[in-house]
């Protein structure tokens, strides 16, 4: 009987301690994201333009969708401009229409060469630019971090069994193009979206932004580009 009594008392003490720890431990930050506040479909942005709409790249007549998220205006499609050394994955019909082109920002398109700063500065349409790491981070801060934040930017389309569709709350429509490797094969296609940034890591490398993990990484040989309004 004494054994049973002490066992019950010990169990009660453990429960009390667990409850106390639970009360004292800090709770996770509350998710306060509201698309109607962060990226409303209606209304106008800081440029006096509709929050969502289209614009034309005067270089080739390509029409792009755009969306406003916070104080930023982003292209809602991947860049498709036929820039020097850019490639289209021709093994699949209409690939570029969906995923855009793959770009290198190296001199003469040669991996491990110097960064071609002139190309990096002019590859986007006039009035737009390749976003920096800080600008990508600002986007992440606007939509929230982690899987929830990524889902709010990811395309809601079905790209196969390895792709986790997003809710695309802000009509950013991030596309899982993956990256183009040195052997001419694609890595991560229909799995993740990774984009060029304009922030240098060194004289011959730039950082990339992996939207799936919301992380800053080292660039791949060729990746897609999302442009940000100046």
Residue 172: name the closest of 70, 97, 68, 101 by CA: 68
- Whether 138 has a pLDDT exceeding 90, the answer reads yes
**What's the average model confidence in pLDDT over 173-177?**
97
CB 116 within 8 A of CB 83: no
Question: How do residues 58-114 score in pLDDT, each as one tens digit?
Answer: 999 999 999 999 999 999 999 999 999 999 998 888 999 999 999 999 999 999 899
pLDDT confidence of residue 209: 96
Domain ranges of the chain: 35-229
Three-class HEC string of 41-60: CCCECCCCCECEEEEECCCC
Share of the chain above pLDDT 70, in %: 87
Between residues 204 and 178, the one the model is more confident about: 178
Question: How do residues 188-200 score in pLDDT, each as one tens digit?
Answer: 999 999 999 999 9
pLDDT confidence of residue 15: 41
Question: How do residues 2-13 score in pLDDT, each as one tens digit?
Answer: 444 444 444 444
The pair of structure tokens assigned to 17 is 């301690």
* DSSP β-bridge partners for residue 66: 53, 75
pLDDT confidence of residue 212: 82
The pair of structure tokens assigned to 6 is 């002490």
CB 125 within 8 A of CB 135: no
Question: How do residues 109-135 score in pLDDT, each as one tens digit?
Answer: 999 899 999 999 999 999 999 999 999
DSSP string, 50-99: BSEEEEE-TTT--EEEEEEETTEEEESS------TT-B--TTSTTHHHHH
The position carrying tokens 């006096």 is 48
What SS3 state is found at 8?
helix
pLDDT confidence of residue 101: 97
């Amino acid at each position: 009987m004494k054994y049973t009594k002490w066992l019950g008392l010990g169990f009660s003490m453990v429960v009390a301690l667990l409850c106390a720890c639970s009360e004292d431990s800090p709770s996770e930050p509350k998710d306060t994201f509201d698309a109607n506040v962060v990226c409303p479909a209606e209304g106008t942005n800081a440029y006096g333009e509709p929050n969502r709409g289209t614009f034309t790249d005067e270089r080739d007549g390509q029409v792009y969708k755009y969306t406003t998220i916070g104080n930023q205006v982003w292209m809602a499609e991947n860049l498709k401009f036929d820039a020097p050394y850019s490639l289209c994955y021709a093994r699949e019909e209409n690939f570029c229409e969906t995923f855009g082109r793959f770009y290198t920002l190296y001199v003469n398109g040669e991996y491990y060469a110097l960064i071609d700063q002139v190309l990096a500065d002019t590859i986007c349409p006039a009035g737009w630019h390749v976003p920096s790491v800080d600008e990508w981070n600002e986007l992440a801060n606007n939509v929230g971090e982690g899987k929830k934040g990524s889902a709010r930017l990811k395309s809601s389309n079905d790209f196969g069994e390895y792709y986790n569709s997003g809710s695309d709350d802000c009509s950013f429509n991030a596309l899982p193009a993956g990256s183009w490797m040195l052997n001419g094969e694609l890595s991560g296609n229909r799995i993740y979206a990774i984009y060029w940034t304009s922030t240098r890591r060194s004289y011959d490398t730039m950082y990339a932004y992996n939207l799936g993990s919301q992380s800053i990484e080292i660039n791949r040989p060729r990746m897609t580009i999302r442009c940000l309004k100046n």
